[in-house]
Amino acid sequence: MTPISQLPHYHTRFSLPVDNTFLSANIKEQAIDKHKETEILFKPAGMNVRQWTTSDTETNKIIALKENASAEEAAKIFSMQCDVESDTLTSRLLIAEEKSSDPTKRNVFKEVASGFEPLRLIAPVAVEGKIFQRSTKRKPPVR
């Protein structure tokens, strides 16, 4: 057995989110190896791999047989819906419409902060709100 420190994904033990890990593989064998390595990496921490989803149905079947579990067609990862059929990630961005016509500093801050998306895929959408936030922090020049 390979020591944990020599596993290719050893560095992930220091950068894991609380409940999701996102790995990629180019071929089926590589995906299966990464599944095994992830289990080995998680075991000393008392963690187990509860869900494992790939875009390859054959790989899902192999892993499901080993785990005695069923592969999911859709999973949630990093607050986004992952569709394994189309191999896509979907994120919903909800912007509340306030009853007042003037956006307040507080409301803009609240809306910008409410969009939790750690992969920063929808970051370009939030730029306008962040620009507004920054402009409210500027102090007028002293003369």
- Confirm whether 8 is domain-assigned: yes
**CB proximity list for 71: less than 8 A, separation 6 or greater:** 52, 53, 54, 57, 60, 61, 63, 64, 84
What confidence score (pLDDT) does residue 103 get?
A: 67
- Confirm whether 99 is domain-assigned: no
The reply to whether 14 and 52 lie within a common domain is yes
Q: Print the domain residue range for 46.
A: 4-90
Helix and strand counts by DSSP (H, E) for the chain: 4, 3
- Confirm whether 38 is domain-assigned: yes
The reply to whether 69 and 133 lie within a common domain is no
Q: Are strands 74-77 and 88-90 parallel, antiparallel or unpaired?
A: unpaired
- Confirm whether 143 is domain-assigned: no
Per-residue pLDDT of 30-77, as tens digits, reads 988 988 888 888 888 777 777 777 878 888 888 877 766 555 666 777
Q: Which tokens is 77 given?
A: 């990862």
The reply to whether 84 and 15 lie within a common domain is yes
- 105 has a pLDDT exceeding 70: yes
Cα–Cα nearest to 48, from 19, 14, 75 = 19
- Confirm whether 97 is domain-assigned: no
Q: Which tokens is 57 given?
A: 């149905």
